[in-house]
A and B are shown apart, each in its own frame.
Chain A
Amino acid sequence: SQTIHQWPATLVQPVGSPLSLECTVEGTSNPNLYWYRQAAGRGLQLLFYSVGIGQISSEVPQNLSASRPQDRQFILSSKKLLLSDSGFYLCAWSKTVSGNTIYFGEGSWLTVV
């Protein structure tokens, strides 16, 4: 069966510090991968999606970036965090065919102070 892991689960970072969240998927090959963010009192916002290694699409301009160095690895980064980057970050995967159900990792709570 397929599993998805992301880490760290919780982190508190000062404004201006870098960020790296990592996500890996097991039990499937060539998945679509996604990063979503859920800010306090707001809905899930799609940040990035990837259909293959090195292929990243950005949905919202921001100071975040994503990379996919391996088929089942997805990384979310920032060089300098802003207060507004605080939120619940969720990695997700789906089968290659578009419109399929997506499955989320357990999420990473980021507080920027």
Chain B
Amino acid sequence: RKEVEQDPGPFNVPEGATVAFNCTYSNSASQSFFWYRQDCRKEPKLLMSVYSSGNEDGRFTAQLNRASQYISLLIRDSKLSDSATYLCVVNNQAGTALIFGKGTTLSVSS
């Protein structure tokens, strides 16, 4: 099983739609979870951390299920500017670095 797995997509949605991305991770001892966003040919940037109780930042909601080793990201009221690749991120076994999933591509159209 890969350390971090994501559905690559692409997800093609109209403006205003709600879209959800899922991610699974293999290291049951992981303690740190994040979603990063990467625009084409740019560096990844932090979108939000993921907390055990779930957390929300505007239109974005992140959930963590430790029992199933599963992370999700929900985007409500999609904007054209949300088009990007979303990377699921988990800390490595040693806790010294972050491991990135391959990303899920989102394309929002008008």
A84: Cβ under 8 A from any B Cβ: no
Known contacts being A90-B43, A101-B46, A104-B44, is A43 close to B96, with CB within 8 Å?
A: no
For chain B, the bracket of interface size reads 20 to 34
* Cα-based distance from A36 to B98 in the complex (angstroms): 10
- Give the residues in chain B near A36, CB-CB below 8 Å: 100
Chain A residues with CB below 8 A from B103, complex form? 43
The residue of chain A having its C-beta at the shortest distance from the C-beta of B31 within the complex is A99
Instruction: Judge whether B43 and A106 touch: CB under 8 Å.
Output: yes
A7 to chain B, nearest CB (A): 14
Q: Is B67 an interface residue (CB 8 A)?
A: no
Q: Mark A13-56, 1 if CB is under 8 A from B, else 0.
A: 00000000000000000001010100000111010010100000
Asked if B32 CB lies within 8 Å of chain A CBs, one says yes
A: interface residue count bin: 20 to 34
The residue on B at minimum CB distance from A94 is B98
Are A46 and B97 closer than 8 Å at their CB atoms?
A: yes
A102 at interface (Cβ–Cβ under 8 A)? yes
Q: Do A57 and B96 have beta carbons less than 8 Å apart? A: yes
Instruction: Give chain A's interface residues, CB within 8 Å of chain B.
Output: 32, 34, 36, 42-44, 46, 49, 51, 57, 59, 88, 90, 94, 98-107, 109
A–B complex contacts, Cβ < 8 Å, 25 sampled: A32-B96, A34-B97, A36-B100, A43-B100, A43-B103, A44-B87, A44-B100, A46-B92, A46-B97, A49-B96, A49-B97, A51-B96, A57-B96, A90-B44, A98-B91, A99-B32, A99-B91, A101-B49, A102-B97, A103-B46, A104-B44, A105-B43, A106-B43, A107-B42, A109-B41
